[in-house]
Amino acid sequence: MDRKQYSVKKYKLSGGVRILVIPVDGKLATSIGFWILTGSAYENPEIQGISHFLEHIVFRGTKNYSGKEIVADIEKLGGSIDAYTSKEETCYYATVLGEDIDVAVKILADIVSRPLFVKNDIELERNVIQSEIDDIMDAPESLAQELFLKLFFGDSQLGRPILGSKDSVSKISGDDLKNYWSENYSGGKIIIGAAGAVDIEKFIELVEENLAKRIFKEKSYHPKINWQENNDGKLVITSKKSSQVHFFIGARTFPFDDERRYALAVLDAIMGRGSASRLFQIIREKMGLVYNIQSFSEFYTTTGLWAVYAGTSPKNFQKLFDEISTQFDIIRKNPIDSNELADAKNFLRGRLLLSSESIWTILNRAVECEHYLGKFISIEETIEKFMNITADDIIELADEILRPDNLTAFAFGDVDGSKLKNKDFEIIQKSANDILDK
């Protein structure tokens, strides 16, 4: 297949800062990202939400740029700049024309290494974040997902919300933010990457010139992430008067570096990833129980999850729960048709190849490999791994992770648990506050 070829060039600067550069022929744009390998899973409970809070604060202004200039200097070039915080990383990224890469690197480097921490800005962003938390609490699907993750991982590093709580955010001080930044925004906790129209030597020079010297000081890595399992084999119901029930059911899997991730991707494609999947075709198209049903997966350094989300009416919830349980039993115990297996593999192959058209996706994938594996896995190798998965591999994995005693289920909506029936799950009711406060 004729497609644009690229290779990942890796470099290591003093103090352990890693750089990945991926020149891609035929591109006018460059995507640049500064990844800090810290997120909500590495926070102490009393300052939960500080990674996300810090992400907000650094955009308020740096030594060389005001908050407005950070955005305006990129946007007047036609580019974009943004950031995100997850369980295990915080990322600051921009996309610009290759000819403007120096502007993007200067701004991103200043954000990461020269934030100002102005007291008034901290208080303004505290209010913004607390409004953001209110938005989630008022959005049923978003709140349901937060509650599900809390039930799934318990009161642990992975179970707590990325944004923290209004209480924890209210207690984070300016000194807390400075100390957290100083401890985590340095050395081996940083991966910097660029993909697209990028000159390797120029990019490395720009990074070295614009990062503050303290960034190059070596810092130790975080301790291992811990998690708890509190609700395996349970369906937890949080009752709320509404026309829609938001339902999650998921299984704990394995870290990113486990080779079974390839079999999981194929299982995911068969069960719920896409409109041709079993769950979509049976539960939506044939039975008409939902508008939206989909599966998703997440990987962390110590564990992972695979889950299904569906929204349905209260009157159809029992049928939905029963049918998903039935489909889990079928995939665990029955042969997989060779055509269905081939279709799932081709789906993954096509999605992977199409994603390589995006320079941001190319960069993000390379950083993900570096973060979790310490090496790059090419698209060609990944496709080969998918293609080598057998039907027996899928059944073996499904039988391992989709047993009822390995599943956590959660329903948020107008559901009366006393009227539900299921022989495999213990059905209990909890309020949202009981789940979040535990």
How confident is the model over 82-92, as pLDDT tens digits? Answer: 999 999 999 99
Separation between Cα atoms, residue 234 and residue 417, nearest integer Å:
12
pLDDT of residue 220: 61
Contact by Cβ (8 Å): 19, 10: yes
pLDDT of residue 330: 97
Contact by Cβ (8 Å): 22, 363: yes
311-327 pLDDT, tens digit per residue, is 999 999 999 999 999 99
284 CB-near residues (< 8 Å, 6+ apart): 290, 291, 292, 293
178 CB-near residues (< 8 Å, 6+ apart): 117
DSSP conformation class of 286: I
363-407 pLDDT, tens digit per residue, is 999 999 999 999 999 999 999 999 999 999 999 999 999 999 999
Give domain 234-437's CATH architecture. 2-Layer Sandwich (3.30)
Determine if residue 16 is left, alpha or beta; phi over 0 gives left, psi from -120 to 50 gives alpha, anything else beta. Answer: left
Contact by Cβ (8 Å): 24, 219: no
**Residue 28: pLDDT above 70?**
yes
Tell me how crowded residue 132 is: count the other CB atoms within 10 A of its CB.
15
pLDDT of residue 221: 62
Sign of CA dihedral 217, 33, 40, 370: negative
Q: Which token pair is 46?
A: 């009393």
Tell me how crowded residue 41 is: count the other CB atoms within 10 A of its CB.
24
At 32, the pLDDT band (50, 70, 90 cuts) reads: very high
38-83 pLDDT, tens digit per residue, is 999 999 999 999 999 999 999 999 999 999 999 999 999 999 999 9
CATH number of 9-216: 3.30.830.10
276 CB-near residues (< 8 Å, 6+ apart): 343, 347
Separation between Cα atoms, residue 176 and residue 191, nearest integer Å:
23
Domain boundaries for CATH 3.30.830.10 within the chain: 9-216, 234-437
HSE-CB of 422 using CA atoms within 13 angstroms: 25
Separation between Cα atoms, residue 385 and residue 266, nearest integer Å:
10
Which position has the higher pLDDT, 216 or 195? 195
pLDDT of residue 1: 39
